[in-house]
Amino acid sequence: MRSVLSSLLLTAAVAAQKAPSAPPQAMVWIPGGQATLGSQNEDWDAPLHEVRLSGFWMDATEVTNDQFAAFVAATGYVTDAERRPTPDEVPGVPADLLVAGSLVFAPPADAVDLREFWRWWSFVEGANWRRPTGPGSSIEGRGAHPVVHVSWRDATSYAKWAKKRLPTEAEWEYAARGGLDRNKYVWGQQQQVAGALPANIWNGDFPRENTREDGYEGTAPARSFAANGYGLYGMSGNVWEWCSDWYHPRGYGDGGEVLVNPQGPSRSFDPQEPGAKKRVMRGGSFLCSDVYCLGYLPGTRMKSTPDTSLCHTGFRCVSDAPPPSPPAPDRAGAGSDGQTSRSAPQ
């Protein structure tokens, strides 16, 4: 799949940009501090490591369709998935394959080997953020759902317009953990809370059967499940979220030292696809499950090329606006319901 994605290089062109007069979405203050990040499952590319971060603001939710629509309405922006690539952008690709589209999940008709991801992913001509499953589909009534089919370049363009930026990978994971120390889930150490897994992932036998136990087969409205300890929604599942960092399996340094506000490695390398430069994605999606994808755990990493768009990938932004005044309470004072009386950056 990713080889196909990597070949579909599209050029993003941001139309004349007009910044909003106010943040389009509530943000919450993430207090700075030191924490141990990395996988609790000993993922080979996510060793435990220490980071120290300055405080920052973070969107309480994934960027929604309504918010992305406001960006497009203000700027005329055209996403990578909506653009037909030129031959120069994807040398060697036959002309009849140079079409605008995106990658869409569809359950396979027959039993499959879980290594055969191409059996449930299809490049669908005409699929994009407005038409998530292709021609004939729409986002009507889905304004509060996270936007999908946005590339890293699209997400970066939105963030620039909103006078925000994408989070670093360290910021994303630090925020996802909600102040908990090395817990397996963003909500604690146990998989279930009050008898249910509190996130939108895949229920049932992936990729053929989705029992919708959590209420959603695809995306869920961005505030559908409880917020974490910092008041952030959707840090586990729903849609993957782009980070600013390049992906490298040794992106956390050589170990030992405390990484202070790390910005990620200076170059990308993915041993599974050495020719492709990739950016980090975090948090998993509605397609994650314990039998296939543990991306919904806070320490698990994913990566994709900056031009790639998929039906389960979105983003959220952060801001370096000044901290709240009066000073934010410590972690124990952060609301768990996502509500805060602190003012968001203007």
Q: Which residues bind Ca ion (CB under 5 A)?
A: 200, 214, 216, 234, 238, 283, 286
Nearest distance in Å: CB 308, Ca ion: 17
Quote the CA–CA distance of 344 and 340 in Å, as a whole number: 9
Nearest distance in Å: CB 123, Ca ion: 23
Nearest distance in Å: CB 90, Ca ion: 29
Q: Which is nearer to Ca ion, 8 or 46 (CB)?
A: 46
Token pair recorded at residue 292 = 């296939």
Nearest distance in Å: CB 160, Ca ion: 21
Q: Which is nearer to Ca ion, 25 or 75 (CB)?
A: 25
Nearest distance in Å: CB 9, Ca ion: 26
Quote the CA–CA distance of 244 and 165 in Å, as a whole number: 8
Q: Which is nearer to Ca ion, 98 or 226 (CB)?
A: 226
Token pair recorded at residue 229 = 């300890």
Q: Output the CA–CA distances (angstroms, integers) from residue 332 to 15, 179, 184, in the order listed.
A: 43, 8, 19
Quote the CA–CA distance of 159 and 147 in Å, as a whole number: 14
- β-pair type (240-246, 313-314): parallel
Q: Which is nearer to Ca ion, 59 or 307 (CB)?
A: 59
Q: Which is nearer to Ca ion, 239 or 276 (CB)?
A: 239
Nearest distance in Å: CB 45, Ca ion: 20
Q: Which is nearer to Ca ion, 197 or 259 (CB)?
A: 197
Nearest distance in Å: CB 79, Ca ion: 19
- Distant-in-sequence, close-in-space partners of 17: CB < 8 Å, separation ≥ 6: 74, 75, 160, 161
Q: Which is nearer to Ca ion, 232 or 259 (CB)?
A: 232
- Distant-in-sequence, close-in-space partners of 216: CB < 8 Å, separation ≥ 6: 200, 224, 286
